[in-house]
Amino acid sequence: MSTLIESYEQQYSNLSADITVCIGKIANSLGGEKQGHIRHVDKLFDELAELLEQMELEIKDLPARDKQKYRTRLVSYKAENKKLLADMKRAKLGLNAREDLLGEEVDNSEDQRTRLLDNTEKLERGTRRLDDGYRVILETEEMGAQILSDLSDQRETIQRSRNRLQETDSALGKSSRALSGMMKRIIQNRVMLGVVILVILFVIIMAIYLIARKKT
């Protein structure tokens, strides 16, 4: 378990280092480049928050002898995360350490700008969620249309198969009736043939009888 926590700590160290580098880039860039760095660092902060949550869950399952040590480290990580968030906000607003010393007027202005930035970030996150939701809706709609198309094709296939079965059944019925007629004619012909044979035999017998009678 401690090995897993140490792995999380290494990941935290890497993420915090990346965030620090990105904050420096934000402070030293403008326009679209700056917005690109901001979006990247937002993703890094999301990953960092998820990592801290996972680390906290793992700490709960640690033995008592290790739990307090890692909890103390986690508190330190969270404090560092808050500091990085504050640094990022100042970098977005174009502030630096010297401006923090200009007095209460600058602080109030910074607070207003920070609140404005927070609102802007919330709006951006909301917009991204709406975009994601709209994309999911489009994908779902496309999937539903594809399913309906497949069902329609399957229904047509079933209908064609049913029509073929009906045609086959009709053909079989006709064939059965034709066979029945043929069998009747065959039976009739055999009966007639039998009658003819009997008649011939009768004639032959009668002829033999008459011939024999004459001789006697």
Domains of the chain, by residue range, sit at: 1-94
> CB of 112 within 8 A of CB of 89?
no
Cβ(92)–Cβ(29) below 8 Å? no
C-alpha 189/C-alpha 191 separation (Å) is 5
HSE of 206, CA atoms in CB hemisphere, 13 A:
6
Report the CATH fold assignment for 1-94: Methane Monooxygenase Hydroxylase; Chain G, domain 1 (1.20.58)
Query: Which pLDDT score is estimated for 106?
Result: 45
Residue 113 contacts residue 88 (beta carbons within 8 Å): no
Calculate ∠ Cα 21-14-120, nearest 5°.
50
The residue whose two tokens read 């979006």 is 39
- Which pairs count as long-range contacts for 61-65, CB under 8 Å and 24+ apart, including other chains? 61/1, 62/1, 62/2, 62/5
Nearest 5°: CA angle at 56, between 52 and 60? 170
Q: What is the pLDDT of residue 198?
A: 92
State the pLDDT at residue 101: 43
Sole residue written with tokens 């202005």: 109
Residues 6 or more apart whose CB falls under 8 angstroms from that of 95 comprise: 110
Q: How far apart are CA 101 and CA 88, in angstroms?
A: 18
How many other C-beta atoms can be found within 10 angstroms of the C-beta atom of residue 180? 10
CA distance 97 to 165: 85
**For residues 8 and 15, what is the distance between their CA atoms, to the nearest angstrom?**
10
CA dist 56 to 17, 61, 176, Å? 21, 9, 81
Residues in the chain: 216
pLDDT tens, position by position, for the chain (216 residues)? 557 888 888 888 898 898 898 888 887 878 888 888 888 888 988 998 998 898 888 888 888 778 888 888 889 989 998 998 888 888 887 754 444 444 444 455 666 767 777 777 777 777 777 777 777 887 888 888 888 888 888 888 898 888 888 888 888 888 888 888 888 989 998 899 999 999 999 999 988 888 888 876
Instruction: With beta carbons less than 8 A apart as the criterion, state whether 27 and 94 touch.
Output: yes
